[in-house]
Chain A
């Protein structure tokens, strides 16, 4: 599968990555190579096969709705690059 530079730019935008022109060229080539390699999966007929998302047979896990100790506000904020008055601080969102 041929990947274009345009594909790479679009995917970078979706993934919130800013990539240089040089990186665009490298990723275009490398992602094309990897997708070429995974093409071999199309040799297999999987029409009748159901997908596996988890190998362990999982069912929903429920618990009682009990009040428990949670992370305290100052602990939760301890690693924050910027905070103010007990909140995470972010750059401007609305222009």
Chain B
């Protein structure tokens, strides 16, 4: 399954990822850092990673094997 890792130190809170995420996963938190509020809707498309000018987001993927939950 895909998920996003946000490097809060690198995130400038510019909001580009919040604006462009196709499945509306991201918001800015109270400290104005990107935050995956709807992480279950992440489709692993890497759009946020490409659109981030500060390399503050990495999309991670976990493979699944048959039988694994």
Partners in one complex: no
- Which residues of A pack against B, CB within 8 Å? none
- Which residues of B pack against A, CB within 8 Å? none
